[in-house]
Copies of this chain bind each other. A is one copy, B any other.
């Protein structure tokens, strides 16, 4: 079974526990030879996705929430977790709270690379790479550390403040790195696909 998470710049596939990506331009030329179960936040692919070989899982990813405007990619990630605090760290970082399959809300911050780029634009003096080895127990003593601390420390404080005793899940491109700052955090690159698989599993008769 072939799954696909379609973003604005990349389409990411999942099959038999393997994950790979295509640029959207290449995805446009992709001619699948089996059904592609997908979710998409890309509004410019309607012509391609109208082909019956593409099956949109969005109608099947439903849970109780009062949140308005939750993107389908974020919803799919949340859908994979019954109870937990979920951090999806990509170009933006979303943090969401799930409790007994109910979505309690969430919030958004710029991702690590997005933040580094925004500081670089303010001044050349702030054009520094992330120091992934930074000691967060000491107040920084140089610009590169000051920037790295300003990126990582708030994420840690937010997770500590809001996760309470719930399990903490990390996913997304920077998820593995950030998960290392927590003793009991779970990193799972495939969280979004687990949500999609759950939706398929719960709607087998209709979908398959």
Chain A residues engaging chain B, CB cutoff 8 angstroms: 8, 41, 66-69, 71, 91-95, 97, 104-110, 114-115, 117-119, 121-123, 125-126, 138-143, 145-147, 149-151, 153-155, 157-158, 161-162
Given contacts A115-B118, A154-B154, contact A126 B108 (CB under 8 A): yes
B97, B110, B158, B161: the one within 8 Å of A119 (CB):
B110
Q: Given contacts A122-B114, A154-B158, A157-B154, are A139 and B8 in contact (CB under 8 A)?
A: no
Chain B, Cβ-Cβ closest to A138: B105
Contacts of A95 in B (CB 8 A): 150
Max chain B CB contacts within 10 Å: which of A93, A94, A121, A139? A139
Contact A147 B108, CB 8 Å, known A92-B122, A162-B139: yes
* Chain B nearest Cβ from A69, distance in angstroms: 5
Task: Check B119 against A108 for contact (C-beta < 8 Å).
Answer: yes
Cα A51 to Cα B139 in complex, Å, equals: 39
> Chain B's nearest CB lies how many Å from the CB of A6?
14
Task: Choose among B41, B114, B141 the residue that contacts A68 (Cβ–Cβ < 8 A).
Answer: B141
Closest to A110 in B: B118
Decide yes or no: A106 and B67 within 8 Å by CB, A117-B118, A118-B118, A154-B157 being known contacts.
no
A11 to chain B, nearest CB (A): 16
Task: Determine which of B108, B126, B141 lies in contact with A92 in the assembled complex, contact meaning CB atoms within 8 Å.
Answer: B126
For the complex formed, measure the closest distance between the CB of A170 and the CB atoms of chain B, giving whole angstroms.
17
Please pick, from B105, B117, B118, B139, the residue contacting A106 in the complex, using a CB distance under 8 A: B139
Given contacts A92-B123, A95-B150, A110-B110, 13 further A-B contacts (CB under 8 A): A8-B123, A66-B141, A69-B125, A69-B142, A91-B122, A97-B139, A105-B139, A105-B140, A107-B146, A108-B126, A115-B118, A153-B161, A154-B157
